[in-house]
């Protein structure tokens, strides 16, 4: 199902970081720690080892054992620090050095990992593990050829080590050598038929190669070798979920939850929550809430269950209690901000999101939530900044890129939105939300032909999505296909009868069909259900404007602004109403207010520029169009209108030609755009090139007098008097009093009835 902007996955909303608590004992015992470790009670083992370290902070063996316990608990950050501390205290212990190197490797500290491995290689040139780690660290530093050479040295020393083959396979995969990678990983499986790790590596290879059937086969083979292995069960569960077989994921997730630590149990609870089975999640979370390292995560999820079951007072009480315990708990702050945003308590949501960012400026999750709040508050520039910060922290954060595309679309920056959404679609062609964003961006950019092509597979993939049907209706409406638009909007309303977008689209179709009475009826019905919704008030205002009830239209727009002073479309439509009433000064004030609130809003700047043109303030209009093109070099209306103004003035024709070509590249089928390009060619002394685009405009809209006048002037210039007379005569017939009428008559007179 394709989601509308603002939809939040429940599991994502409840996800909170787990941290290992610092419950310390004053004394400890290595022997007791070892006993607990053997029994896989890693938390108890860690407490014993920590007690020894507290007594003797220079005990390298205790630090090493503590690191291994942390590692088993999934506390990677604590583990690598303890491994490094142990290695520093045991400088001659090769195992300690390589343990530290591996831990540094896992955390992406490739330089340090490589340095420690190299020291071991110098002392022991035949140490296979040292060569392997050095190779992997080298790969992390982007020198994959040297890394492969290093792994191959390790294989020469010991060709029977399965893990070395697995590492070689991974490196070959990075180099793009899939066949060599698969062969190496299969060799690893043959050398260690009873080990799970090589099979996991092979399954991962198949996953990256988009071969899900082989992933499943390999994971099941690994499960036969090691039925209780948490990683295998987790991998199988993820596969089932991703391939749409969520029910089958429960069995392996249960094994993962039983055999793993708190994080695994939380994952199982999240599965139950996501699949609307909170009653199954409750006992798991209640138990975890008594475990110090999982307390906050479990309580946050319990609060989430309260929230979705409409016990909001209890939900907020749990969250506020967590924040009292730890005011800098970023994930809980984010969770609270999400709830407040869902309830449209945007000011409070902004405060919570800002608190999350202040608690951890490096939290991509916090910046993302802040961006969503700014987006909801129509603060486009701030939203762009927040989502851009997410991508700076995590360049692969697809949700942030998607929201950034949506914000750019809303701002009228079609080119930027197309680039962002196209990138997402190329990375994940099955991402329906990204595909929808791409279609929306193409429509805003004016490229409706490509939008139609992109819509076809989207309609096939998500026929029951009201969002997709609505966008199909908008594209059809932009192409003046009124019957098609009506069909799509009706389909959307059948899926979601209360959809504002579908209702507004259907009203637009009715107005275009001159069925004003039915449009008013639908607007009134919507208004009766949502009398204080600014969007509903605005669409009703537009409908009454078409119905020529201008006082009621103005009142509705004013009500929309009073209901939400930040709702920009109401300003836009009120401005249009003022233009219609020749209250152009008031209209421009409205749009200038929009620009002040949203300095990067291309649409608002464009309306100001067009109004300046209407007031015959040509220099100011040109300056505003130039400002728009600084904000978005591919802003269609600005490029087209500025090119036309230069052509009319006969000034800066080289720039005019560049702008006109840009506009045509964005909207190749738009008649106005082709007319501008043809007229610029004519003014630039390239009349022969002007014929094709101008003829295209006339063919699309044969009743447009300006298009016919321009083509007639071009035919006169290219020596085709019969065609010129025909076009100019028809232009005068259509608009005998147009500004160009006198010039058309002079040209007709000068042709003197010439023939060709």
pLDDT in tens, 347-388: 899 999 999 999 999 999 999 999 999 888 877 778 989 999
Q: Are 354 and 369 within 8 A, CB to CB? A: no
pLDDT of residue 433: 92
Q: Are 495 and 503 within 8 A, CB to CB? A: no
- Looking at residues 646-653, what average pLDDT do you find? 90
- Looking at residues 519-539, what average pLDDT do you find? 95
Distance between CA atoms of residues 102 and 126, nearest Å = 18
Q: Please check the confidence at residue 178 and state whether its pLDDT lies above 60.
A: no
Per residue in 255-271, pLDDT (tens digit) is 888 877 788 888 889 88
> Rounded to two decimals, what is the model's pTM?
0.56
pLDDT of residue 137: 53
Distance between CA atoms of residues 509 and 521, nearest Å = 14
Per residue in 572-606, pLDDT (tens digit) is 688 778 878 888 888 788 788 888 888 888 878 88
Per residue in 539-574, pLDDT (tens digit) is 999 999 999 999 999 999 889 877 875 565 776 688
Q: Could you tell me which of 23, 43, 22, 48 has the C-alpha nearest to residue 33?
A: 48
Structure tokens at 367: 């910046």
Buried residues in 282-321 as b, exposed as e (16+ CB within 10 A) = bebbeebbebebbbbbbbbbbbbbbbeeeeeeebbebbee
Q: Please check the confidence at residue 7 and state whether its pLDDT lies above 50.
A: no
pLDDT of residue 165: 37
Q: What percent of the chain shows pLDDT beyond 90?
A: 40
Q: What is the CA radius of gyration of the chain?
A: 33
- Looking at residues 601-630, what average pLDDT do you find? 88
Q: Could you tell me which of 587, 589, 572 has the C-alpha nearest to residue 557?
A: 572
Q: HSE, CB side, 13 Å, CA atoms: give it for residue 116.
A: 30
Local structure of residue 294 (DSSP, 8 states): G
Structure tokens at 325: 């315990």
pLDDT of residue 171: 40
pLDDT of residue 221: 84
Per residue in 494-515, pLDDT (tens digit) is 999 999 999 999 999 999 999 9
Confidence of residue 3 (pLDDT cuts 50, 70, 90): very low
- Looking at residues 5-29, what average pLDDT do you find? 35
Confidence of residue 660 (pLDDT cuts 50, 70, 90): very high
Given its phi and psi angles, is residue 670 left (phi above 0), alpha (psi -120 to 50 degrees) or beta?
A: beta
38-47, 149-158, 503-512, 673-682, range with the lowest pLDDT: 149-158
pLDDT of residue 143: 47
Give the Å distances, CA to CA, from 336 to 1, 13, 150, 353, 397. 26, 9, 50, 8, 21
Local structure of residue 291 (DSSP, 8 states): S
Distance between CA atoms of residues 146 and 175, nearest Å = 11
Q: Please check the confidence at residue 646 and state whether its pLDDT lies above 80.
A: yes
CATH superfamily of domain region 636-756: Tetratricopeptide repeat domain (1.25.40.10)
pLDDT of residue 490: 97
Per residue in 706-720, pLDDT (tens digit) is 999 999 999 999 999
pLDDT of residue 589: 84
CATH class as words, domain 14-330: mainly alpha
Per residue in 104-114, pLDDT (tens digit) is 766 667 677 77
Could you tell me how many residues make up the chain?
Answer: 756
Q: Please check the confidence at residue 14 and state whether its pLDDT lies above 50.
A: no
Please give the torsion angle defined by the CA atoms of residues 290, 295, 301 and 307, in that order, rounded to the nearest 10 degrees: 80
Q: Are 296 and 16 within 8 A, CB to CB? A: yes
pLDDT of residue 238: 81
201-215, 427-441, 523-537, 544-558, range with the lowest pLDDT: 201-215
35-49, 72-86, 298-312, 506-520, range with the lowest pLDDT: 72-86
Q: Please check the confidence at residue 436 and state whether its pLDDT lies above 70.
A: yes
70-84, 131-145, 244-258, range with the lowest pLDDT: 131-145
Contacts of range 365-369, beta carbons closer than 8 Å, 24 or more positions apart? 365/330, 365/331, 365/334, 366/330, 366/333, 366/334, 367/393, 368/397, 368/399, 368/400, 368/403, 369/334, 369/337, 369/338, 369/341
pLDDT of residue 703: 81
pLDDT of residue 721: 92
pLDDT of residue 114: 76
Confidence of residue 53 (pLDDT cuts 50, 70, 90): confident
Confidence of residue 158 (pLDDT cuts 50, 70, 90): very low
Per residue in 237-293, pLDDT (tens digit) is 888 887 788 899 889 889 888 877 788 888 889 889 888 899 999 999 999 888 888
The residue with tokens 């009653």 is 279
Q: Are 86 and 67 within 8 A, CB to CB? A: yes
pLDDT of residue 616: 86
Q: Please check the confidence at residue 25 and state whether its pLDDT lies above 50.
A: no
Q: Where are the domains of the chain?
A: 14-330, 594-634, 636-756
Q: Please check the confidence at residue 333 and state whether its pLDDT lies above 90.
A: yes
Per residue in 382-411, pLDDT (tens digit) is 898 999 999 998 888 889 999 999 988 887
Q: Please check the confidence at residue 190 and state whether its pLDDT lies above 50.
A: yes
2-6, 171-175, 505-509, range with the lowest pLDDT: 2-6
pLDDT of residue 344: 85
Confidence of residue 128 (pLDDT cuts 50, 70, 90): low
Confidence of residue 742 (pLDDT cuts 50, 70, 90): very high
Residue 553 C-alpha from the chain's centroid? 37
Q: How many CB atoms lie within 10 A of CB 494?
A: 12
Structure tokens at 702: 């044969």
Residue 340 C-alpha from the chain's centroid? 21
Q: Please check the confidence at residue 138 and state whether its pLDDT lies above 80.
A: no
The DSSP H or E segment spanning 718 is: none
Q: Please check the confidence at residue 71 and state whether its pLDDT lies above 90.
A: no
Sign of CA dihedral 285, 291, 297, 303: positive
Higher pLDDT, 208 or 265: 265
Per residue in 458-477, pLDDT (tens digit) is 999 999 999 999 999 999 99
Confidence of residue 522 (pLDDT cuts 50, 70, 90): very high
pLDDT of residue 162: 37
Residue 336 C-alpha from the chain's centroid? 22
In the predicted model, what is the mean pLDDT of the chain? 82
């Amino acid at each position: 199902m394709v989601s509308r902007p603002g939809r939040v996955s429940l599991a994502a909303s409840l996800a909170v970081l787990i941290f290992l608590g610092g419950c310390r004992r004053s004394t400890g015992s290595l022997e007791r720690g070892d006993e607990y470790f053997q029994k896989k009670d890693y938390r108890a083992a860690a407490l014993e080892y920590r007690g020894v370290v507290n007594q003797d902070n220079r005990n390298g063996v205790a630090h090493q054992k503590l690191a291994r316990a942390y590692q088993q608990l999934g506390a990677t950050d604590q583990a690598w620090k303890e491994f490094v501390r142990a290695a520093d205290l045991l400088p001659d212990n090769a195992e300690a050095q390589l343990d530290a190197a591996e831990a540094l490797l896992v955390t992406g500290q490739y330089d340090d990992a490589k340095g420690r491995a190299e020291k071991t290689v110098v002392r022991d040139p035949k140490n296979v593990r040292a060569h392997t780690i050095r190779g992997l660290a080298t790969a992390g530093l982007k020198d994959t050829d040297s890394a492969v050479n290093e792994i191959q040295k390790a294989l020469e020393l010991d060709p029977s080590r399965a893990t070395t083959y697995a590492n070689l396979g991974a490196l070959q995969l990075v180099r793009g050598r899939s066949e060599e990678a698969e062969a190496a990983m299969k060799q690893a499986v043959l050398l260690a038929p009873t080990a799970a790790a090589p099979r996991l590596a092979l399954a991962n290879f198949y996953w990256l190669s988009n071969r899900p059937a082989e992933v499943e086969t390999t994971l099941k083979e690994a499960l036969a070798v090691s039925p209780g292995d948490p990683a295998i069960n987790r991998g199988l569960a993820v596969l089932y979920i991703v391939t749409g077989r969520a029910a089958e994921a429960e069995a392996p997730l249960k094994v993962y939850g039983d055999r793993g630590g708190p994080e695994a149990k939380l994952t199982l609870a999240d599965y139950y929550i996501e699949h609307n089975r909170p009653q199954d999640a409750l006992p798991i979370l209640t138990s975890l809430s008594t475990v110090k390292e999982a307390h906050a995560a479990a309580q946050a999820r319990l609060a989430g269950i309260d929230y979705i079951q409409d016990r909001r007072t209890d939900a907020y009480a749990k969250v506020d209690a967590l924040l009292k315990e730890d005011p800098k708990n970023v994930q809980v702050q984010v969770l609270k901000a999400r709830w407040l945003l869902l309830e449209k308590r945007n000011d409070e949501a902004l405060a919570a999101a800002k608190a999350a960012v202040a608690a951890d400026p490096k939290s991509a999750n916090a910046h993302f939530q802040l961006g969503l709040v700014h987006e909801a508050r129509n603060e486009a520039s701030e939203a762009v900044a927040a989502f851009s910060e997410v991508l700076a922290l995590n360049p692969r954060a697809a949700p942030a890129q998607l929201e950034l595309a949506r914000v750019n679309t809303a701002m009228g920056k079609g080119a930027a939105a197309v680039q962002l959404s196209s990138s997402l679609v190329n990375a994940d062609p099955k991402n329906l939300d990204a595909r929808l964003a791409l279609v929306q961006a193409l429509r805003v950019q004016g490229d409706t032909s490509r939008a139609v092509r992109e819509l076809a597979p989207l309609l096939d993939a998500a026929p029951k999505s009201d969002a997709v049907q609505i966008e199909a209706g908008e594209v059809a409406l932009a192409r003046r296909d009124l019957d098609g638009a009506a069909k799509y909007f009706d389909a959307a309303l059948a899926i979601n009868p209360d959809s504002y977008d579908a209702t507004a689209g259907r009203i637009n179709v009715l107005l275009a069909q001159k069925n004003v009475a039915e449009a008013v009826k639908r607007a009134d019905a919507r208004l009766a259900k949502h009398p204080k919704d600014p969007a509903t008030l605005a669409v009703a205002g537009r409908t009454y404007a078409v119905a020529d009830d201008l006082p009621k239209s103005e009142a509705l727009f004013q009500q929309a602004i009073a209901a939400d002073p930040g709702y920009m479309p109401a300003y836009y439509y009120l401005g249009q109403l003022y233009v219609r009433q020749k209250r152009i000064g008031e209209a421009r004030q409205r749009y200038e207010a929009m620009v002040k609130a949203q300095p990067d809003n291309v649409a608002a700047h464009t309306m100001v520029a067009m109004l300046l043109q209407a007031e015959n303030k040509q220099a100011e209009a040109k300056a505003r169009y130039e400002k728009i093109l600084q904000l978005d070099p591919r802003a269609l209306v600005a490029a087209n209108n500025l090119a036309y103004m230069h052509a009319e003035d006969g000034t800066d024709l080289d720039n005019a030609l560049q702008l006109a070509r840009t506009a045509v590249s964005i909207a190749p089928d738009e008649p106005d755009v082709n007319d501008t390009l043809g007229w610029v060619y004519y003014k630039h002394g390239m009349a022969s090139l002007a014929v094709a685009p101008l003829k295209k405009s006339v063919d699309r809209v044969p009743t447009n007098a300006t298009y016919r006048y321009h083509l007639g002037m071009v035919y006169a210039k290219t020596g085709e008097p019969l065609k010129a007379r025909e076009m100019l005569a028809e232009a005068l017939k259509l608009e005998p009093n147009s500004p160009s009428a006198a010039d058309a008559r002079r040209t007709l007179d000068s042709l003197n009835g010439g023939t060709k």
